[in-house]
Chains A and B, each alone.
Chain A
């Protein structure tokens, strides 16, 4: 096994993911301004209608308090401040789908929505699918059983798109589902297997 720099400094017994999350948890309060290359001015004046910085978001069924800059995208908040690394920031322009999450059950590109605009709404990321006892969501189980993805980088986005689409059409044919997930790209070009896996997941969901 390769020993990365991360391996050498993380406490024994922690997984890489736990270690990264612990750093994020510790760093949120003190360093949010350092995330950005541009200087952040003083706290905004309390003009009528101007947004506050410290807000509560409903993410995966939990109320999360978080300090959010006005110009911050939901993808930045979820990954860098709440430690939800499932979504990926790939193109950062709404052109690939790797950052797809659900807002009130509807798929959105989290890179292209301001975090402040989802206040009071329910945000669901890939981390919110499995049960607390780690039982996979039926859609995840379908993907697992069919081994639908090659590298898996785009998988969280595809799964969230599918989940949102299935809310509007729980029993799609292959063509319909392909159209439903047409806002997601896979650079492995693994679309055929991905569709087979997502169709399997949809079938498991219908069976409950």
Chain B
């Protein structure tokens, strides 16, 4: 019979049935343990032989990590809820359509059927130097190949916050969660803590080897959407090379509270332009109190404030401005 050369290295597999069991395992195994959500990001890297986990903790059998429920004023989403469930959930569609739209734009139907919201926001970067196992800063090495001036292949890389690493966050749902001021509950064997989505995602200046604040032994257990932005006016758009599978070149998630055509307050978040979802505070300040049609052009010019594009990704600066304009006007025709 054929030999399968593409198989993954052997690992020990655990399928705990509760959060407590998973946390105890994670504590006991420490950095030897790899937490597996939908598995689409992880299995690819195991097969590529870039990561060889000794032990995998599959979270798929933990029912308490699944599902969408109301808790007081919050809508609580279990991180193991699939992207398809997020996309089709009536409560999310009715009140937080921004997140449903973002989930609907991820990858392909089969991937949304298996990929989870928690996995989508915790997935690692797609920088091919890093994923191919190059010894870059993010991998503990001593350079950033993508940012290298002459040879760096950086069409898909960052234009903001490049401090030693030009990798970007590839998530479509993460910018939506930041725009909606989601709060993320993180648990370990000792207890739980809650962080704002704004603070959950981190750039290379904070930690060059990680895209979020999760530490070994910790587990994301709840994604909470407060009522703050429920039923606001939303805009999500993802620009990519092909309409299925692709990660964003740039995406935008915007939430606006309007009175008539006037914006009272708003949040604008770009994805795939930095290692974390990139908020646009200058745009948010400029649009507050302004008429949508009057402020769109001015705000668009502020979108790429502080951008430092690399050799091959200057187009992202233009995209960022145009996406901000479209978000404010609420039309893909703008």
Residue numbers of A with Cβ under 8 A of B are 23-24, 27, 31, 34-41, 44-45, 47-51, 69-73, 76, 80, 92-95, 97, 100, 106-109, 112-114, 116-117, 161, 164-165, 179-183
**A181 / chain B contacts, CB cutoff of 8 Å:** 109
Interface size class of B (residues with CB under 8 A): 35 or more
A44 to B7, CA, bound (A): 18
- Whether the Cβ atoms of B14 and A107 lie closer than 8 Å is no
| Among candidates A34, A73, A165, residue contacting B109 with C-beta atoms closer than 8 Å | A165
- Whether the Cβ atoms of A116 and B39 lie closer than 8 Å is no
- Whether the Cβ atoms of A92 and B245 lie closer than 8 Å is no
Q: B1-34 interface mask toward A, CB cutoff 8 Å, 1 = contact, 0 = none?
A: 1111111111111111100010001000000000
Return B257 CB to nearest CB of chain A, in Å. 32
- Beyond A34-B3, A92-B47: 9 further Cβ-contacts under 8 Å? A41-B10, A71-B8, A94-B110, A97-B110, A107-B110, A114-B58, A116-B13, A179-B109, A183-B244
- Whether the Cβ atoms of A37 and B44 lie closer than 8 Å is no
Task: Using A35-B4, A108-B114 as known contacts, say yes or no to A40 and B43 having CB atoms under 8 A apart.
Answer: no
A31 to B17, CA, bound (A): 31
A180 to B58, CA, bound (A): 28
- B311 contacts the other chain (Cβ, under 8 Å)? no
| Among candidates A23, A31, A44, A71, residue contacting B9 with C-beta atoms closer than 8 Å | A71
**A76 / chain B contacts, CB cutoff of 8 Å:** 4, 7
- Whether the Cβ atoms of B11 and A49 lie closer than 8 Å is no
Task: Using A93-B44, A109-B111 as known contacts, say yes or no to A117 and B10 having CB atoms under 8 A apart.
Answer: no
- Whether the Cβ atoms of A80 and B111 lie closer than 8 Å is no
- B108 contacts the other chain (Cβ, under 8 Å)? yes
- Whether the Cβ atoms of A180 and B109 lie closer than 8 Å is yes
Q: B43-70 interface mask toward A, CB cutoff 8 Å, 1 = contact, 0 = none?
A: 1101100000000101011000000000
Report the nearest B residue to A106, measured CB to CB.
B113
The 8 A-B pairs with the shortest beta carbon distances in the complex, nearest first, are A183-B108, A70-B13, A71-B8, A183-B110, A183-B109, A49-B14, A182-B244, A36-B7
A112 to B109, CA, bound (A): 14
Report the nearest B residue to A20, measured CB to CB.
B1
Return B245 CB to nearest CB of chain A, in Å. 6
| Among candidates A36, A51, A114, residue contacting B4 with C-beta atoms closer than 8 Å | A36
- Whether the Cβ atoms of A73 and B43 lie closer than 8 Å is yes
**B44 / chain A contacts, CB cutoff of 8 Å:** 93-94, 112
Report the nearest A residue to B109, measured CB to CB.
A183
- Whether the Cβ atoms of A23 and B110 lie closer than 8 Å is no
**A92 / chain B contacts, CB cutoff of 8 Å:** 6, 47
- B243 contacts the other chain (Cβ, under 8 Å)? yes
- Whether the Cβ atoms of A182 and B108 lie closer than 8 Å is yes
A76 to B4, CA, bound (A): 9
- Whether the Cβ atoms of B113 and A107 lie closer than 8 Å is yes
A4 to B10, CA, bound (A): 35
A23 to B36, CA, bound (A): 34
- Whether the Cβ atoms of B108 and A71 lie closer than 8 Å is no
| Among candidates B5, B7, B12, B46, residue contacting A47 with C-beta atoms closer than 8 Å | B12
- B40 contacts the other chain (Cβ, under 8 Å)? yes
Task: Using A107-B109, A161-B109, A182-B244 as known contacts, say yes or no to A94 and B40 having CB atoms under 8 A apart.
Answer: yes
Q: B104-147 interface mask toward A, CB cutoff 8 Å, 1 = contact, 0 = none?
A: 00011111011000000000000000000000000000000000
Q: B286-329 interface mask toward A, CB cutoff 8 Å, 1 = contact, 0 = none?
A: 00000000000000000000000000000000000000000000
